Amino acid sequence: MFLNTRIKAYLLRLFTTKKARNFDIKDVKKVLFFRYDRIGDMVISTPVFRELKLSLPEIKISVLASKVNQSILSNNPYIDHIYVNNKHSFLSDLKTLFDLRKKNFDACIEFDHSVIPHAIIRLKIINPKVVISVFKKGRYGVEGKDLKLYDFYTEKKDNLHFRDIWLETLSPFGINLKSNHYDLFRTASQNEVAQNFVSKFHGKFLIGVNLEGAAKGKKIEYEDLEKISRRLYEIHNNIKIIILSTPNNYQNLKEIIKKMGLDYVLMSYKTDTILDVAALITKFDLIITPDTSIVHIASTFDKPIVTIHENNKDSYELFAPTSRLNRTVFSNSKNSLNGFSLDLLTNFCLELINLIKKENHD
């Protein structure tokens, strides 16, 4: 086992070496960001793209996105090019990676706080002049500072949200950050569809509920949905509870809601893209969701939100909602939502409903 680790450490050092280049970061004109993972991570990263483009508009910004999260960047005026990558299918990505190599990027920004082999391989193929990343502790006994592939690391700061950790990757450019809010750009058509849907509920307090979490075991179960819905209706009967769903699960969930038989609980219209969902979220008065991308989409528009999170305060600190009005219920489990308190959730909802009413009245 020890020998195996030593071999891995040797190979890691060997693979992350590179020839020294005499290049000033002030001369950067083309930047590629690595963000080929989840939807929520892309949402949280959007301030980085905006702040770089607004401060240095001559820089061309490209993003290596995933098939899942690329749509978050639709209509984004701060992005010049989007390339699609699949980290689980390296061979199918080779053409894209070698095409990116031909672009001769001046800098590449990689957001991973760990040493990730698939990211290192991609960086080696693309071969940018400068590589910037967040602070890395290292791997296989190799310290992050010994990985010569990386030219700049951000400083290690505790108690920061990932939004601000990733914004720190712009520090080598010496720019002054103006804002850390997220960006999502819906089309007029998407906004119109959402408005037409909610217009029939005039005067109702609209609560959007998302059941699906970011990982298996982190979802609101159907029986809990019914309990939550009934309790909310008891404390505030002028509501409509609108259920969000992924396209794949839409029909199944529609049947479940129908069997539930509560006239104040209904499905949203079928959304095809995450920006369709974003347009609908802008129309809600309150959102309830497990820890997932919906948290960050709601935060983009400063929507009041009650989240359900596994009992992991470190993870929560990194991905917490940033809406001004937000509350979180923690489960009893570090790996699932098992055992979260329905009483606390409904109490938080009532608290936010009263605050929203007071603000609207004032």
Kindly report, residue by residue over 304-324, the tens digit of the pLDDT.
999 999 999 989 999 999 999
pLDDT digits 0-9 by tens, 67-120: 999 999 999 999 999 999 876 777 788 999 999 999 999 999 999 999 988 899
- pLDDT score at 3: 57
For residues 65 and 85, the model is more confident at 65
Q: What is the mean pLDDT of the chain?
A: 93
Whole-Å CA distances, 248 to 146, 203, 244, 252: 45, 31, 12, 8
Whether residue 266 has pLDDT greater than 90:
yes
Residue range 40-68: average pLDDT?
97
**What value does the mean pLDDT take over residues 209-220?**
85
pLDDT of amino acid 1? 46
pLDDT given at position 340: 94
Q: What is the pLDDT of residue 318?
A: 93
Q: Provide the residue count of the chain.
A: 362
SS3 156: coil
* Listed ranges 20-34, 152-166, 291-305; the one with the highest mean pLDDT: 291-305
Q: Which of 271, 112, 293 is nearest to 214 (CA)?
A: 293
What's the pLDDT at 223?
93
Question: Which pLDDT belongs to residue 289?
Answer: 97
- Average pLDDT (8-33) is 87
Pick the CATH number of 189-361 from 3.40.50.2000, 1.10.468.10, 3.40.190.10, 3.30.470.10: 3.40.50.2000
CA dist., res. 284 & res. 294, Å (int): 12
Run of H or E residues at 169: none
Is the confidence at residue 217, as pLDDT, over 80?
Answer: no
Rounded Cα gap, residues 152 and 166, in angstroms = 13
Considering the chain, what percentage of its residues have pLDDT values greater than 70?
Answer: 99
Calculate the CA 202 to chain-centre distance: 31
Q: Which residue has the higher pLDDT, 125 or 86?
A: 125
More confident residue, 15 or 41: 41
Multiple choice CATH, 9-173, 3.40.50.2000, 3.30.360.10, 1.25.40.20, 3.30.200.20: 3.40.50.2000
Segment 330-349 mean pLDDT: 93
Give CA torsion, residues 148, 150, 155, 157, to 10 deg. -100
pLDDT beyond 90 at 21: no
Strand partners, 123: none
Long-range contacts of range 13-20, CB-CB < 8 Å, 24 or more positions apart?
Answer: 13/142, 13/146, 13/147, 15/120, 15/124, 15/149, 16/120, 16/147, 16/148, 16/149, 16/150, 17/148, 17/149, 18/148, 18/149
User: 9-173 and 189-361 share one CATH topology?
Assistant: yes
**pLDDT grade, residue 216 (50/70/90)?**
confident
Return the structure tokens found at 42: 């892309």
Q: How confident is the model at residue 2 (pLDDT cuts 50, 70, 90)?
A: low
Spatial contact of 283 and 194, defined as CB atoms under 8 Å apart? yes
Amino acid at 182: Y
pTM: 0.94
Instruction: List the domain boundaries for the chain.
Output: 9-173, 189-361
Residue 14's pLDDT band, with cuts at 50, 70 and 90, is: confident
Helices (H) and strands (E) in the chain, counts: 12, 14
User: Which range, 29-33, 139-143, 148-152, 355-359, has the best average confidence (pLDDT)?
Assistant: 29-33
Strand duo 152-153 + 142-143: pairing: unpaired
- Kindly list the distances between the CA atom of residue 233 and the CA atoms of 13, 204, 205, 206, 268, in Å, as whole numbers in the listed order: 60, 12, 11, 12, 18
* Residue 49 Rama label (left phi>0; alpha psi -120 to 50; beta): alpha
Residue 47, pLDDT score: 98
